[in-house]
Chains A and B, each alone.
Chain A
């Protein structure tokens, strides 16, 4: 393999250091509408049923929203649930772990069910960091303004205000649990620059931020009074007589049996959608990111906000091809990495917001200024060598050891060679509509994390997602504790799956042939189809 890589790198042009063209607000929006996948007409579908009927969303998302249940009709529930708890947390990433920890502290009975192992999630993969407005001349107010601007003014101000105001307290919690963020000379948390922000505001643990968070919080979870079911994804929510949520059906991946959970409150924290490969894009997401939470909630009638909005992170690896989709954190651009097209020219300010940078890369490749790989894909060069040149030899190795390690395994030493990149499907900007107390339109159902929507508008800024997990993970827990305490006892006999029947009968009006895909899909299937 080394030979293929070496021969590819023989074709690297020399890099012209001149400034990239500056963009006026009009040019920026023209660039977005011409090239950003969200604004392109191809590969889209109009939703025909459900709370977002009439909205245009990516076809792959429509497929899982307008889908058939994994539980075939006629649907009934067993006489007794397998578990009966105060709080059921669905999803064991950062949001779910945080919610379970805070709920367990209050002495409620908590069950956490997750698809793979606890922590196998998008959270563990986070490289760049968490936004926390700690710098001099910075404040939660500046954080608010940057995020609102970055989100194109589509953010829910009530959610955003909570995020920026409570963020630093959650960072305090993380530090107190022994999470090792990078420190500055004074012992303060080091603050780095991210795209679209006016101040350096990113705290990180080298480029292992998510790993460090998950290692520590997972250990706390394993030591907390929380019952844990791994390899047990939820496949449906269960409704009560009054239309509330009263539990969920899990699917045990090993025994292949359904497991029924009765819960006074359910916290949905199933994360994102990258493995749906919208528009055929590669993804940075973990193996279980298939938007199951959206599928289950949509069937129950919950509205989604900005379901059409996704973040294509500008810099996913595109060569060597076995690494396609792997993320190179935006923090490298904050540290001074530059991008060049096949003529060796810079073509966009590297610190524009993610959607603008991604659009510019797609434009370069669409207009023949991309670099072709041996397998026929295209990309542009992301050059980290500039970081060492500007900030001193060894900076890349010190700040981005993970990237150096991963790329070197594939014969690309990023301190010597530029990395070929192309946008990768990274983050679901929208999600299930919720309020500042993590409540949804269905009583007894709370949401936290990437599965929720509204906070980020239509473009998330780097570092705000991790912050959201802790702020709203905790809020969901506190709300769930109160709800489960106050909720009058109800009988399992009132529980039904009738919302699924209703949803499917709506669907059948459009496709009497019943040819709907089945969802949640749980995992992408990459097996060779003719094997």
Chain B
């Protein structure tokens, strides 16, 4: 719950940015930070698991493994240590999707490092969205942009994959490029949209819309009252 609430009940011991606290069980990592008085600005966006602002690294007591998560979506647990990764430096291609002529080849102009994937699978293991990132990178390299689109639709661009990539590429940016190229260059233009645009450009509806606009509020209410 985002609103202030008097939480009683069981507490858990966590460490935030290296300092120990006791916070209510059932809090998300972000809520735990609020509870302990942190003012979180870098690292918060939507609080709904889609903006990718709250990438976080954590580790559980007694376990050597580093894990990653989105802080607004992940509940704290006893013995958890975490720090937010507010931003991970990346290099982004400078391109105009409309100007691409051979998108599959141009991938290697914009992101030559894409071809250097060493198959370690760390990106897939770290992805908080459960995306098979490694597979997506390979599909992009092979020019199967449709598969990239299907695999990566849920990517929130948090950049955690970049933080683990031993080839130092930005898989989420590569996937974005492939999806866009697929949408703008490979998929045929939607026929129903084309048809409606032609009608609109032919002025099919402008007379009726003008008429509606010109009605008095009462007349207009009457006209629109029933679903036709």
Contacts and interface: CB of A to CB of B under 8 A. Distances in A.
Bound pair (A, B): yes
Contacts of B50: 124-125, 208, 210-211, 402
Nearest to A212: B153
Contacts of B183: 175, 177-180
A283 B45 CA distance: 14
A121 B51 CA distance: 8
A144 B96 CA distance: 34
A295 interface: no
Name, among A119, A157, A211, A526, the residue most crowded by chain B CB atoms within 10 Å (CB to CB): A526
A164 B180 contact: no
Contacts of B179: 178, 180
A377 to B, nearest CB: 9
Nearest to A324: B1
A433 to B, nearest CB: 16
B80 interface: no
Interface string A171-206: 110011111110110111101000000100000011
Interface stretch (A134-142, A332-340, A492-500, A508-516): A134-142
Contacts of B47: 286-287
Contact of A198 (B73, B176, B205, B227): B227
Nearest to B178: A178
B186 to A, nearest CB: 10
A454 to B, nearest CB: 13
A221 to B, nearest CB: 11
Contacts of B227: 146, 149, 198
A405 B129 contact: yes
B200 interface: yes
B208 A141 contact: yes
Contacts of A172: 193, 197
B196 interface: yes
Contacts of A157: 212-213, 215, 220
A141 B209 contact: yes
Contacts of A326: 48
A414 B185 CA distance: 36
A176 B188 CA distance: 11
Name, among A153, A164, A181, A322, the residue most crowded by chain B CB atoms within 10 Å (CB to CB): A322
Contacts of B199: 139
Name, among B46, B75, B187, B209, the residue most crowded by chain A CB atoms within 10 Å (CB to CB): B46
Contacts of B209: 140-141, 144, 161, 164-165
Contacts of A179: 180, 183
Contact of B221 (A4, A140, A153): A153
A145 B3 contact: no
Nearest to B33: A527
A177 B181 CA distance: 9
A116 B154 contact: no
A153 B96 CA distance: 42
Nearest to B209: A161
Contacts of B149: 180
Contacts of A222: 92
Interface string B1-34: 1111100000000000000000001111001001
B51 A145 contact: no
Interface in B211-226: 212-213, 215, 217, 220-221, 223-225
Interface in A192-240: 198, 205-206, 208, 210-212, 214-216, 219-220, 222-223, 231
A457 to B, nearest CB: 11
A321 to B, nearest CB: 5
Interface stretch (B35-43, B60-68, B111-119): B35-43
Interface in A307-327: 320-322, 324-327
B41 A116 contact: yes
Interface residues of B, number: 81
B53 A178 contact: no
Contact of B37 (A175, A231, A406, A531): A531
B220 A148 contact: yes
B178 to A, nearest CB: 10
Interface in A47-82: none
A525 to B, nearest CB: 8
Given A120-B45, A144-B212, A157-B220, A168 B196 contact: yes
Contacts of A437: none
B97 interface: yes
Contacts of B195: 134
A409 B205 CA distance: 47
Given A177-B180, A401-B154, A116 B221 contact: no
A161 B217 CA distance: 14
A326 B49 CA distance: 10
A205 B180 CA distance: 13
Interface string A227-267: 00001000000000000000000000100000000000000
Contacts of A139: 196, 199, 204-205
Interface string A404-428: 0110011000000000000000000
Given A125-B50, A321-B26, A528-B34, A134 B193 contact: yes
Contacts of A283: 2
Contact of B197 (A168, A214, A277): A168
B193 to A, nearest CB: 6
B182 interface: yes
A284 interface: yes
A169 B191 contact: no
Given A165-B206, A187-B187, A405-B129, A527 B38 contact: yes
Interface of A: 1, 4, 116-117, 119-121, 124-125, 132-135, 139-142, 144-146, 148-149, 153, 157-158, 161, 164-165, 168-169, 171-172, 175-181, 183-184, 186-189, 191, 198, 205-206, 208, 210-212, 214-216, 219-220, 222-223, 231, 253, 277, 280, 282-284, 286-287, 320-322, 324-327, 375, 401-402, 405-406, 409-410, 523-524, 526-529, 531
Q: A-B pairs with the 8 shortest C-beta distances? A: A178-B180, A120-B45, A188-B192, A178-B184, A178-B183, A153-B221, A531-B37, A198-B227
14 contacts: A134-B190, A153-B220, A164-B209, A165-B206, A178-B182, A178-B184, A183-B187, A186-B192, A188-B193, A280-B3, A284-B48, A321-B1, A322-B27, A528-B35
